[in-house]
Every structure is written in structure tokens, then in C-alpha cells.
Structure 1
Amino acid sequence: MRLIAVTPDFHEQHSGLLKEMHCLRAKVFGSRLGWEVTTTDDGERDEYDDLHPTYILATKSGTVCGCARLLPATGPTMLQDTFPQLLGEGRLAAHAGMIESSRFCVDTSLEAGREGGHLHLVTLSMFAGIIEWSMANGYSEIVTATDLRFERILKRAGWPMTRLGEPTAIGNTMAIAGSLPADAASLERVRPAGYRSAFSGNGVTPARNAA
């Protein structure tokens, strides 16, 4: 398994992988979880995909098996602009060292194995990739809107989330907003054996101002 970061300048070059990513999101969010998302033959996408995000992708044998979308918290974000009700004060105290992770999903049907018989290796690798990329680009805090099930997964992985508000029902989901540290200690706890990224090299070297 390999982790790559696709920055805006390379969206077109990696359009095939991004197409797979959107289809995976449709499969997970639309079909498996039953979230209220917009899906087409091209997969699932929303207005935040138009804001030139960086995508963290987990690939195995050239197939996308995990993904997440990263956007600077100082700009438009899903948490602030779509789900402000999840924030205790109704607004996000964004700063230059904060980035938002959204649309995190993993294809757990692939035979990627489970770490210690519990958490899927793709999940742990994605956690490590998000932390590693964030640290490399000067971010120290990651915020996200997720659900209570995923909050428990983060805790089991050794990367507990600090809540930014109380759980709130959104559709068929009990949603929660939280903050996660992007630091060496967190990376060491979540990184599975054999983890490797490709955050250096043509097409995947990230630049802070291209997030």
C-alpha cells in the first residue's frame, strides 16, 4: 500500500485516481452509509471539491482504497459553512496552522488486513498520511466533522479527538465536530508496520500555498 498526496496543480495529471476516489466516496457514503450526498455516474462530489483541495489517497496495486480531502480551515470549509451547528459557539476558531479533513473513507472490502485484528490497515495508513502531510506543510491541528462511530475508531487508533461541540443528529447520523493534533507523537501511534508514503517525487510533493 502507498500513500500519495494529489495537490491542485496535479489534479488533471492524476484524474484517473481522482475519478476512482469519487466513485469510492459514492460507494461508501451513498450506498453503504446512506448519507444524503449527491452521486452521479462520475461518483460523489460537492462544492468543496471545487475549492482546489489536496487529496490524500491510499492506493494498492494502483487502485484507490482510501481517501480524504484537505482544505485550509481559514477558507470555506464544510465544518464552518455546512455544519456550523456542530460547533459549540457556532463558528470555527480557525488559524493558519489548522486544516480541515473531510470525506474520509476506506474500502474495507479489500484484503488489506487489520492491525492487531481490529482496525483496518488502510484506515491506519490514512490517519498516518493525513498527519504526515499536515506536519510537512506547517499544520499542527486538523478539524473534522464526523460521526460517533468514527470518533470511537480514532480513539482506538490512539488518536483521540477533542470535541468542538455536542453530538447532533444530521439526517440518519449522529454527527460530531472535533480537533486532532498533527504531531510526531500522534504519527508514531497510528502508523502501521510497513507504512510508506510518496509525499516526495513528481506530482505529489505538496506546497503549503497549494493546499
Structure 2
Amino acid sequence: MIIVIDGINQNKFEHVLDEMYKLRARVFGDRLGWDVSIVDGRERDHFDDLHPAHVVSIDDEGDVVGCMRLLQTTGPHMLSDVFHSILDGEPPIRSAQVWEATRFCVDTKKLGQGRRENSVSYVTSEIMIGSFEYAKTAGVLDSIAVIDPVMNRVLQRSGNAPYDYLGTAKPMGKVVAMAALMDCSDERISGVRDYAGIEHDVFLTEEKALELFEGAKAKQSAANYDHQPLTQLEKYFVEQMSSATSKTEVESVLKLIETISDRFTPEQKTALLRTPRAFAHEA
């Protein structure tokens, strides 16, 4: 499912953006070997400081599994400032009704293949649908994207083929780059939806997106805690829980934990209550 993060709501989704930058580092730096700036395991550039719209895919487990960046062409953007050689000397497009789409990626390690939900193809289509529908709502007529021949083939076979290209393809480091034009039309959106079999609304509400993401972080925090050495006090309570032989004894241990609960985080209390003997007596 899709959440769009822009200059208006980015303060609510700083943690989601952080995970998105980590995904970009894994894809562009580790997997593709692009010459990008990665700091502390996160890939971001100065275009991210211009308050673009980030179209982010979050799966049912609350993990960030894909993203795309949308940037207005009226100011600095990658085709005009980085890949301008593609244009063969022609000036870049400058229009409030044309946005640039860049930094598209999906988590191929987590996502499976095919066209089912939680697959690379499905999430790719969902991001495309979300991007075009969001842009169309904002009054955008066309999207321009710097892509490579592989991505060009992906677009062509997924009901999303570019209708034109700007300039000529040029070698850019380890890849060949080209500038593709795609209209933000109902026909294009319908084509991608038909290809992927997606009929539902792809957008999450902000509340649901935060609920999913925070749930994922809570599970991760609990899992990380399970691998941390226990303190002496924690060991004591685990031993008391494990040795309890009646519901009364279990309740006594629980009461003692609650009495000094300010010494534990919520995750620590949860872990203490998850001993097998405790669950057995509570059942």
C-alpha cells in the first residue's frame, strides 16, 4: 500500500523516510553499485532537501518495500543538473505540469517474483499507480524519468510504456541512461491496473500507515530485546515465573513486577511475561 510523504506531512513520517533511505542505499549502492552518496547506511542527495514527494510502499508487516521520488521541473532536478548530456544541448523541460520521477526502487530481497501481492512486479505497479494518481490529482500532465534500458523494458511490458524520449541514450558510469516521457492519464493508470490486476484504492491513510509502521518497529524492538543479555533483576523474575506452580504464585510475581515497573521499559515487561510457565498458568 502507498503513502505519499511530502513537505507538508514529512514531520509525521521521519522514521518511514529513514527506512526509505536505507532501502535506497541497499539497492543503489549495494546491489546496483551506483556512484551515490551513502552515509550511515542511508542514500540521499541534495534533491531530497527540496521537499519532493516520496511515494512509499509499505507492506502488511509495516516494512518499507519500495519508493519513488517526484520532483517539480521548475527548479533543480536530475535531468537538468546531473544528466543534462542526454538532452544533446537542448534545454530541459521547465513546467509546473511536468514532474520528474527518480530514485525508483523495490526491495527485491524481501519481495518474491510473479505478479501476486508482495511481489516485485505487484509493488512496482502499485508504486506507479500511486505516483500517477497523486500527480494527476495535483494537476500534473506528464512525468519525465531518467531510466536505463532494463527499466524501459519493464515499463513497456507492464502497460506503462513511455510515449516519447528526450535526447539520446548516454553511458552514465556502469549503465546507459535515457529520458522517458509518460503522460499522467486515466488510460495509462488503467493500463497499469489491468496488468497488475489492481482494482482497489492503493493509498493508505496517514493513520493506517503510522499504525503499520509503528507495529513493525515494536516487533523489531521486542525481537532485538530478546537477544540482549538479561540483567540480574530480569533473571530473577524469569526464574520466579518459571518456578511458579500455581496461579496465585504467578499473580504474586506479576504484582511485584508492576510494583517496580518504572525500572522496566514496556518491551522488557512484555518479555518477562512471555515465559512458557507464565503462559501455561494464565491459560
Determine the structure 1 residue equivalent to 2:40. 41
Which residue number corresponds to residue 57 of structure 1? Answer: 56
Structure 1 residue 198 displacement after superposition: 2.4
**Number of positions where the alignment pairs a residue of Structure 1 with one of Structure 2:** 202
8 Å Cα contact 1:108-1:120 kept in structure 2: no
Larger gyration radius, structure 1 or structure 2: 2
1:79 equivalent to 2:84? Answer: no
Taking the aligned partners of 1:8 and 1:184, their CA distance within structure 2 comes to: 26
State the one-letter code of the partner of 2:104: F
The answer to whether the 8 A contact 2:101-2:144 is kept is yes
Residue pair 1:98, 1:141 contacting (<8 A) in 2 also: yes
Q: SS where residue 62 of structure 1 aligns?
A: coil
Task: Mark the runs of 5 or more structure 1 residues left unpaired by the alignment.
Answer: 205-211
Listed one character per residue, the Cα deviations across residues 55-88 of structure 1 (whole Å, up to 9, x for unaligned) are: 0001102111110111111111111111111124
Q: Is the 8 A contact 1:163 1:179 kept in 2?
A: yes
Contact between 1:6 and 1:203, CA under 8 Å: does it hold in 2? no
| AA of the residue aligned to 1:55 | H
Measure how far apart 1:200 and its partner are: 5.8
Q: Please give the alpha-carbon distance, in whole angstroms, between the structure 2 residues aligned to 1:25 and 1:131.
A: 21
The Cα shift of 1:40 comes to 1.4
TM-fit CA distance, 1:203: 10
Q: Aligned residue for 1:179?
A: 181
**Unmatched segments (≥5 aa) in structure 2:** 210-283
Q: CA deviation at 1:89?
A: 3.8
Moved over 6 A (4+): none
- Residues 10 and 203 of structure 1 are in contact (CA less than 8 Å); yes or no, is this contact kept in structure 2? no
Identical-pair percentage? 32
The residue that corresponds to 2:203 in the other structure is 198
**In structure 2, what is the Cα distance between the partners aligned to 1:106 and 1:91?**
31
Normalized per residue, the structure richer in strand is 1
Question: What amino acid maps onto 1:184 in structure 2?
Answer: D
- Structure 2 length-normalised TM: 0.67
**1:144-163 aligned within 5 A:** 144-161=145-162, 162-163=164-165
The higher relative CO (CA closer than 8 Å, separation ≥ 6) is in 1
Q: Which residue of 1 aligns with 2:168?
A: 166
Partners of 1:150 and 1:189 lie apart in 2 by: 17
TM-score by length of 1: 0.89
Please give the alpha-carbon distance, in whole angstroms, between the structure 1 residues aligned to 2:45 and 2:202: 27
Bigger fraction of residues in helix:
2
Question: Is 1:70 the equivalent of 2:70?
Answer: yes
Residue 65 of structure 2 contacts residue 111 of structure 2 at CA under 8 Å; is this kept in 1? no
1:26 is the counterpart of 2:25: yes
- CA distance in structure 2 between the aligned counterparts of 1:112 and 1:185, rounded to whole angstroms: 28
Are 2:24 and 2:43, in contact at CA under 8 Å, matched by a contact in 1? Answer: yes
Partner residue in 1 for 2:143: 142
5 Å-filtered alignment, 1:79-98, equals 79-98=79-98
User: In the superposition, relative to structure 1, how do residues 103 and 111 fare at CA in structure 2: closer, same or farther (>3 Å)?
Assistant: closer
* 8 Å contact kept, 1:119–1:157: no
CA–CA distance in structure 2, aligned partners of residues 92 and 159 of structure 1: 23
2:126 maps to which residue? 125
- State the shift of 1:11 in Å: 1.3
User: What is the CA RMSD across the aligned residues, in angstroms?
Assistant: 2.1
Residues of 1 paired with 2:41 and 2:15: CA distance? 11
